[in-house]
Structure 1
Amino acid sequence: MRDVQKWDTGLRRLVRRYREPVVVQSLRSATAATIAYVLAVRLSPEPAPLTAPLTALLVVQVTLYASLTNGIRRVNSVVAGVLVAIAFSLLVGLTWWSLALLIVAALGVGHLVRVDEYVAEVAISAMLVLGVTAHGFTAWARIVETLIGAVVGMGINLLLPPPVWVDQAGESIEDLARRVRQLMLRMGEEAAGGIPWQRAAERLHEARRLDNAVTEVDAALRQAEESLRLNPRVKDSLLHRVVLRTGLDTVEICTVVLRVLARSFTDLAKASGPEQLFPPRVGETVQQLLSEIADAIVSFAVLVTTDLSASAESAEERLTAELHTAAGTRDRLAQLFLEEIRADATNWQLMGAVLTEVNRIIDELDTEHRSRRLLEELDRVARDQRTARPWVARLRERLGVQERLWRNRTGLGGRSW
């Protein structure tokens, strides 16, 4: 029985390892490059058509949208470079000064045709074609190989569709929320006792380092957003993208406010000197409030990354209850702060700042605030799409896509958000 359990555990680890972006990308790229080379050997006049597998490597990306856009830009860059080289070969030939003009002209053309990161590819293609005697032969071979690599790269994405990286992005958002929770719990424990200002300053530095974590989560979310675009397996991809993006925005705002809160604690610790950061009764209330808010942040992250409606409803009920409890504790803390200020108004500004900061986090996590934020973002995206691509908006209206999106967004109280 133990051997079976070990084998099952190892198999699960292997499956998880297979879904990692690096492993998926390596397998798909190697497959595409090999197929492209085999086809190019048969179709290209070149004896070693390495441009085809190189193009396939560059075209095959983790997401379908990235593969499609990279394939189009790659083909455009090669064709543009070949045309520039043919024009120069007919006019001036190859000299040191014509090579310099060729590079400048090719780079300029690359920016004009908007091939983005493949601007250098325009100049490379132009130099390779201009540097050989049989211009037509080399130009044709390079175009054929590039087309083969691009077609194979995009075909691999259709035959072996890339995964949707929403789960990974959701896990990263939850991990960030748990890191925020751990920091808030430590700050609450230290607020209940006397701590030197150096210890409070360490918590401030930890809060500042959360910015790096937010950047990493943002990168994972961008990958998830790209995997949803042009993906036939995902319905209402716009809604998914907006839900995750606005969820990360809320968690990021909480990290910013937490950094300000840590700064207020540091200033209070400096002003208190060797005394306790807060009186015993106030410190216990601060600890309780930070603990309740920390739990609410995690519940919020779970809610915005939950797909099943039943689980989402449970997460929403839990979040609502935690916010209600935190609001009651906040009101009690406000009364205690008022009593302390009446007795000694020395640090009334810092106490008021602490109350303002915890209140801001509670407001950001509020479900009604979240629903309004989602509706505003959906409206903004819809306006931008109609302005940038009116023909796409008309097509979506004819296909009924916009109507379905509006029907889904009316249920934002359940799983729609």
Structure 2
Amino acid sequence: MGTVPGVAQYAADRARRGWERRDDPIVVQTVRCTVGATLAYAAADWLISGGPPPLLAPLTALLVVQVSLYATLTTGFRRVNSVVAGVLVASAFSAVVGLSWWSLGLLIFSSLVIGHIVRVDEFVPEVAISAMLVLGVSHVAAMAWSRVAETLIGAAAGILLNALVAPPVYVEPAGQAIADLARRMRALLMRMSRELELGASRDDAVRWLHEARHLDNQITGVDAELNRADESMRFNPRVREGLLTRLVLRSGLDTLEICAVVLRTLSRSLADLSHQRRSDPVYEGEVAGALSELFTHIADAVDSFGRLITAQVSSNAEVAEEQLAQALADGRADRQRIADLLRLETERQPDRWELHGALLANVDRLLNELDVERRSQWLAEELDRHRQEPGRPSPVYRLRRAARRARRRVRRGRSAADHPYGSRSA
């Protein structure tokens, strides 16, 4: 008797997981392609009487229907363009020559060249395929019209499906991918902080460098998520401020990508320093403690930046802005303290001044890239360059207010620190 409740629970869990995956790209693509192809065949069978079954219509719908409306429109245009170009080439050839081995070769060559000229991209082979199918029948004119009609019906069915049933928007997964990347950077910085405080060895520094290099793999995945989110917002009636969201996400990834490069360079400097010190710790004493605090504050800044990107595309971002501004103020205070300590280290060991200077320069770059004020000003300038639709309130004013809030927070942080930031490097 206990088996029936177990099966019911299993079925309920499977149904719940299936419902949670309703916006998954594979699920969306499967459902839309099935519905679009079926509708295309039904419409073509009703509109085109006589002849063989209009299977080209559902085939076109399968190729046209994509997850996003923007991809559907662009793919549909290229698909129709390729078929029409192939039909025109075949019609021209049928009026001059018949079907033979040399005319077929010339037809294929001409179709492929024309496909590149009309810029149908991945559908270049479709130009040659359409031309061969049309040229190979006895009634060229009838076949040409039928092929174009079926293609138009299939493309129209795919476009109409996404126009009537708006596809999902993938902003949240893109923001989550950026936040995950920021958390991974934070984890590396926190590990560096802990191990420096415990007396990091040469092996520890080499591990930091390897992990910093592996950040590039995750950046590639985040870029793919952002491309999908960007396409899902274009021409989508669900999205109101698509331009602002795209700029927030893309600029967030650009900033983290630069931070990953700087973090890799910083790790390289620490690894080089560990080679010089051989069996001694990378840094020790007061310098190690100050660096540990600095990396902790930079880790908090990176994590706050990732949460700020997510908040800006979903809800209120003020808390994340405040935490980021505070972490940057603390980091700059630590940076000045470390600069004083490393100056003393350089006086004792002048041959290491280049590595100390590189360390400080990379710290400056990290702090500058995460700066709240610079980011808000950049976003406002980018939005100013885009033409705003008449009658729609512009988001530039809100961003400028955010920039002013950020400036006030940074100034409060400077006053609390009660000392200058030190040199800042771009």
TM-score clears 0.5: yes
Taking a change above 3 Å as real, the CA distance of residues 80 and 201 of structure 1, as seen in their structure-2 partners, is same
User: What's the counterpart of residue 117 of structure 1?
Assistant: 122
Q: 1:22 aligns with which of 19, 23, 26?
A: 26
- After superposition, what is the alpha-carbon deviation per residue over 1:142-177, rounded to whole angstroms, capped at 9, x for unaligned? 112111110110111022211111111101111111
Distance of 2:101 and 2:381 partners within structure 1: 58
Task: Please say if residues 308 and 415 of structure 1, whose CA atoms lie closer than 8 Å, have aligned partners that are also in contact.
Answer: no
User: What's the counterpart of residue 218 of structure 1?
Assistant: 223
Task: Please say if residues 200 and 283 of structure 2, whose CA atoms lie closer than 8 Å, have aligned partners that are also in contact.
Answer: no
**Aligned partner of residue 224 in structure 1, secondary structure:** helix
- After superposition, what is the alpha-carbon deviation per residue over 1:261-280, rounded to whole angstroms, capped at 9, x for unaligned? 11011101101100011012
Distance of 1:16 and 1:413 partners within structure 2: 38
- After superposition, what is the alpha-carbon deviation per residue over 1:194-225, rounded to whole angstroms, capped at 9, x for unaligned? 44434422321221121121111111111111
The answer to which of 221-230 and 331-340 deviates more is: 331-340
Report the alpha carbon displacement of residue 243 of structure 1 after superposing the two structures with TM.
1.2
Distance of 1:414 and 1:51 partners within structure 2: 58
Is 1:342 equivalent to 2:347 in the alignment? yes
Q: 1:243 aligns with which of 248, 257, 281?
A: 248
Q: Given residue 22 of structure 1, which amino acid in structure 2 is its aligned partner?
A: I
User: What's the counterpart of residue 291 of structure 1?
Assistant: 296
Taking a change above 3 Å as real, the CA distance of residues 262 and 77 of structure 1, as seen in their structure-2 partners, is same
Taking a change above 3 Å as real, the CA distance of residues 208 and 281 of structure 1, as seen in their structure-2 partners, is same
Distance of 1:106 and 1:11 partners within structure 2: 49
- After superposition, what is the alpha-carbon deviation per residue over 1:224-250, rounded to whole angstroms, capped at 9, x for unaligned? 111111122212211111111111111
Taking a change above 3 Å as real, the CA distance of residues 267 and 118 of structure 1, as seen in their structure-2 partners, is same
User: What's the counterpart of residue 47 of structure 1?
Assistant: 52
Q: How does 1:202-281 map to 2 (within 5 A)?
A: 202-281=207-286
Report the alpha carbon displacement of residue 101 of structure 1 after superposing the two structures with TM.
1.2
- After superposition, what is the alpha-carbon deviation per residue over 1:48-100, rounded to whole angstroms, capped at 9, x for unaligned? 32211111111111111110111111111111110110110110111111111
Distance of 2:314 and 2:11 partners within structure 1: 34
Taking a change above 3 Å as real, the CA distance of residues 255 and 12 of structure 1, as seen in their structure-2 partners, is farther
User: What's the counterpart of residue 389 of structure 1?
Assistant: none
Q: TM-score, normalised by structure 2?
A: 0.87
Q: Given residue 79 of structure 1, which amino acid in structure 2 is its aligned partner?
A: V
Q: Which runs of 5+ in 2 are unaligned?
A: 407-426
CA RMSD of aligned residues (A): 2.5
Distance of 1:51 and 1:329 partners within structure 2: 67
User: What's the counterpart of residue 76 of structure 1?
Assistant: 81
Task: Please say if residues 182 and 256 of structure 2, whose CA atoms lie closer than 8 Å, have aligned partners that are also in contact.
Answer: yes
- After superposition, what is the alpha-carbon deviation per residue over 1:279-321, rounded to whole angstroms, capped at 9, x for unaligned? 1221122122112111111111111221478631111111111
Distance of 2:310 and 2:61 partners within structure 1: 34
Identical-residue share of aligned pairs (%) = 50
User: What's the counterpart of residue 86 of structure 1?
Assistant: 91
Q: Given residue 192 of structure 2, which amino acid in structure 1 is its aligned partner?
A: M
User: What's the counterpart of residue 36 of structure 1?
Assistant: 40
How many corresponding residue pairs? Answer: 400
Q: Which runs of 5+ in 1 are unaligned?
A: 383-392
Report the alpha carbon displacement of residue 7 of structure 1 after superposing the two structures with TM.
9.0
User: What's the counterpart of residue 400 of structure 2?
Assistant: 410
User: What's the counterpart of residue 108 of structure 2?
Assistant: 103
Q: TM-score, normalised by structure 1?
A: 0.89
Task: Please say if residues 193 and 280 of structure 1, whose CA atoms lie closer than 8 Å, have aligned partners that are also in contact.
Answer: no
Distance of 1:400 and 1:54 partners within structure 2: 42
The answer to which of 64-73 and 39-48 deviates more is: 39-48
